[in-house]
Amino acid sequence: MESKRLPYRFDRLPVIMPYHRRAANDLRPGDLVYYGPSPEFYGIGEIIKIIESLCTVDFRGTGIYGVHKDVFESRYLIPIHKLNLSHLLTGFR
The residue ranges of every structural domain in the chain are 27-81
Of 45, 8, 61, nearest in space to 76 by CA: 45
Strand bridging mode 32-35 / 77-79: antiparallel
User: Cα separation of 35 and 65, whole Å?
Assistant: 12
Look at the pTM and tell me if it is higher than 0.85.
Answer: no
User: Cα separation of 2 and 21, whole Å?
Assistant: 37
Strand partners, 32: 46
**For the segment 1-44, what is each residue's pLDDT rounded down to a tens digit?**
556 665 667 777 878 777 666 666 789 999 999 988 888 889 89
Of 2, 7, 4, 3, nearest in space to 92 by CA: 7
Pick the CATH number of 27-81 from 3.50.50.60, 1.20.1600.10, 3.30.9.40, 2.30.30.30: 2.30.30.30
